[in-house]
Amino acid sequence: MASAEETARAADRKDIRERWLLSAPALAIIFVAAIGPLFVMLAYSFMMKGDYGDVKPWTFSLDGWTSVLFQRDIFDDTLGLADAHLTILWRSIRLSFYTTLLTLIFGFPTAYFISTRAPTTREIWVFLVTIPFWTNLLIRTFAMQQVIRNEGLVNTALIWLGVIERPLQIMNTDVAILLGMVYVYLPLMVLPLYASMEKLDFRLVEAGYDLYASRWQVLRRIIFPLVKPGVIAGSILVFIPSLGAYVIPRVLGGGKNMMLGNLIELQFGSGRNWPLGAAISITLMVLVMIALLFYVRNVSKSETGHG
Amino acid sequence: MARRTFDIRAQPGFGFMALLTFFALYLPIAALVAYSFNAAESLSRWDGLSLRWFASAWNNSTVQDAAIRSLVLAVWAATLATIVATMAALATTRTRPYPGLTFKYAFINQPLMVPEIVTAVALLIVFSRIKVWTGYSGMGYLILAHTAFCIPFAYLPIRGRLEDMDLTMERAAADLYATPWKTFRYVTLPLLRPAIIAGFMLAFVISLDDVVITEFVKSGGQDTLPTYMLGQLRRETSPEINAIATVFLALSVLLVTVFFFVNRRKT
């Protein structure tokens, strides 16, 4: 009897061992080329910066971390707030927030529109959202540049219509970055919204109308609460990549309007301050983790709420 | 007496907003494509239709090299990622929870959680050291980095398919004295094929599109098509970039369309 149990347990152990072996290559590659380097970067953020980039190995310094928010005055050596960094941090958070809001304002009616089509045409509309989603991000950013640059579509049209005489300067401003991010990340909002709206039970909507609810009341009190998981998922999917955006501000924002991603690049390039760059990277990662935790907490809450 | 029916699904203005959104999604792409057929020397003028920039891009040896490098890299990364992701998916599905299972999920999905720029500079730190130590600065680094972030994309559809499959078929094969390898080769693998193809295609597109990690990992003279384009965008751009982007776009649309129809046939 005991031996049968033991054989079963031995078989179990063998199974688990085989499963570890089978997943080992994937885990090893991700460790070497994704997770491991993050730990090295964490260590780098606590070292002294090298004179020509890189770090002085095996030295310890908190300079990288303090200079995320503070800078030392070159004359009297006192610490003051690093205004440039705070501006960039604030711009990143603000623009990501606006991007999320705008994609929601445009994405919600779009997803609703798609989910109320007949099943056969619905697929085509979803496909139309999927195409930009799988198109190279750089190309979409570049496409946005064609619309907003000085000789671009918007300005040419407005001048031709006589609305303005000189082109509007949209490129190299925060507005350009915002437009680019809304354009690029819109599918990330529409797709999860659509996924939850597709499951919407319209009998509940009908019940609302039977009880004399107005269209607005139905939208706000019935539809919106039911698709809230989709709203949260879409918002997180848009907010997180916006926060870490690098290509869009680089192409549309010009050199001056940096976001966190560009500030990080600067420290590893001409800034030659790798510990600072590493510290900002970790800060960005922590911000993303906070957003993810918020998502996990809210989704589990709303799921138990329905359950 | 016909009464107008009250459509419970309608919401005022939603249709208009939706159509506006679709218009806004495709207008920039249309502009990009239109300008690639521009005959003028620069993007600031329109001189009529021409294919000259397609010809000029086609004959540009830097562009040729970058395009070939992009494709080779994507094939390597997608192939490696699909193989190891299939193995990992087999190891993490159709089992009772065992110690380390959640850890594996978290580990495999990690590349999706971290902003690309952060992974990119972390790789720069590590790989620049290794490049100095070993003196090797070939394509290996790019292939390794691309494989890592392609794994979760290849893994997801394969895991999804496996979770829908039970072990009945495999058990039947084992009852008929098939060895574990034969069971895998003649039962599991054919059943998994659509998901493996889907995973490979996702990984391929993700690798082909990557610009941030490539930009920081590549050594000199290892431009892929996206990093080449990023470099060109800094300067005064000529319609040649539009021509390259248009071809790239056409390729992406083709891949997505194939993917869409392959997936639809399955369901």
Quote the pLDDT of residue B105. Answer: 92
* Out of A41, A146, A282, closest to residue B28 by CB: A146
CA distance B91 to B170: 15
On average, the pLDDT of chain B sits at: 90
CA distance B200 to chain A (A): 14
ipTM for the predicted complex: 0.91
Query: Which among A90, A89, A70, A88 has a CA at the least distance from the CA of A80?
Result: A70
Sign of CA dihedral B63, B115, B105, B258: negative
Query: Which among A278, A277, A97, A103 has a CA at the least distance from the CA of A188?
Result: A103
pLDDT interval class at B68 (50, 70, 90): very high
Quote the pLDDT of residue A300. Answer: 64
CA distance B161 to chain A (A): 17
CA distance A186 to A176: 15
CATH superfamily for A81-306 is: MetI-like (1.10.3720.10)
Burial B171-200, CB ≥16 within 10 A → b, else e: eebeeeebeeeebeeebbeeebebbbbbbb
Query: A80 forms bridges with which residues in the sheet?
Result: A71
Query: Side-chain half-sphere of A283: how many Cα atoms within 13 Å?
Result: 23
Q: Is the pLDDT confidence value at B1 over 70?
A: no
Quote the pLDDT of residue B81. Answer: 98
- CA distances (Å), origin B234, targets A247, A250, B56: 12, 9, 20
Sign of CA dihedral A244, A184, B241, B145: positive
- Is-contact A64 A45, C-beta < 8 A? yes
Q: Is the pLDDT confidence value at B224 over 90?
A: yes
Quote the pLDDT of residue B10. Answer: 84
Q: Are B255 and A134 an interchain contact pair (Cβ–Cβ within 8 Å)?
A: yes
Query: Side-chain half-sphere of A220: how many Cα atoms within 13 Å?
Result: 5
* Out of B99, B144, B248, closest to residue A33 by CB: B144
Residue span(s) of chain A under CATH 1.10.3720.10 come to 81-306
Whether the CB of B238 is below 8 Å from some CB of chain A: the reply is no
Q: Is the pLDDT confidence value at B266 over 70?
A: no
Quote the pLDDT of residue B247. Answer: 93
pLDDT interval class at B235 (50, 70, 90): low
Query: Which among A237, A219, A235, A230 has a CA at the least distance from the CA of A306?
Result: A230
pLDDT interval class at B49 (50, 70, 90): confident
- Is-contact A250 A181, C-beta < 8 A? no
Tell me the chain A residues in contact with residue B24 when contact means C-beta distances shorter than 8 Å.
106, 183
Query: Which among B144, B163, B152, B143 has a CA at the least distance from the CA of B108?
Result: B152
Whether the CB of B199 is below 8 Å from some CB of chain A: the reply is no
B124-150 per-position pLDDT tens digit:
999 999 999 999 999 999 999 999 999
CA A43 to chain centroid, in Å, comes to: 25
CA distance B205 to B157: 14
The pairing of strands A70-72 and A48-49 is unpaired
Q: Is the pLDDT confidence value at B204 over 90?
A: yes
CA distance A237 to A292: 9
Q: Are A146 and B11 an interchain contact pair (Cβ–Cβ within 8 Å)?
A: no
Quote the pLDDT of residue A307. Answer: 34
Nearest residue on chain A to B103, alpha-carbon basis: A27
pLDDT in tens, chain A (307 residues): 568 888 988 988 888 999 999 999 999 999 999 999 999 999 999 999 988 878 888 889 888 898 888 877 777 777 778 888 999 999 999 999 999 999 999 999 999 999 999 988 998 999 999 888 888 899 999 999 989 988 888 898 899 898 888 999 999 999 999 999 999 999 999 999 999 999 888 899 999 999 999 999 999 999 999 999 999 999 999 999 999 999 999 999 987 889 999 999 999 998 889 999 999 999 999 999 998 888 888 776 655 444 3
Whether the CB of A90 is below 8 Å from some CB of chain B: the reply is no
Whether the CB of A201 is below 8 Å from some CB of chain B: the reply is no
The percentage of residues in chain B with a pLDDT greater than 90, rounded to a whole number, is: 63
Q: With H, G, I as helix, E, B as strand and everything else as coil, classify residue B243.
A: helix
* Distance linking the first and last C-alpha atoms of chain B: 43
CA B62 to chain centroid, in Å, comes to: 23
Tell me the chain B residues in contact with residue A250 when contact means C-beta distances shorter than 8 Å.
230
Number of other residues whose CB lies within 10 A of the CB of residue A158:
14
Out of A71-80, B65-74, B77-86, B217-226, least confident range: A71-80
Q: Is the pLDDT confidence value at B214 over 80?
A: yes
pLDDT interval class at B256 (50, 70, 90): confident
Quote the pLDDT of residue A153. Answer: 87
DSSP string, chain A: -HHHHHHHHHHHHHHHHHHHHHHHHHHHHHIIIIIHHHHHHHHHTTSEEPBTBSEETT---SHHHHHHHEEE-TTT--EEE-HHHHHHHHHHHHHHHHHHHHHHHHHHHHHHHHHTS-HHHHHHHHHHHHHHHHS-HHHHHHHHHHHHSTTSHHHHHHHHHTS-SS----TTSHHHHHHHHHHHHHHHHHHHHHHHHTT--HHHHHHHHHTT--HHHHIIIIIHHHTHHHHHHHHHHHHHHHHT--HHHHHHSTTTS--HHHHHHHHHTTT--HHHHHHHHHHHHHHHHHHHHHHHHHHHHHHHHH-
- Is-contact A247 B212, C-beta < 8 A? yes
State whether CATH 3.30.230.10 applies to domain B60-266: no
Out of A192-201, B2-11, B22-31, least confident range: B2-11
- Is-contact A286 A270, C-beta < 8 A? no
Q: What is the DSSP letter of B38?
A: B
**Spans of all domains in chain B:** 60-266
Query: A53 forms bridges with which residues in the sheet?
Result: A51
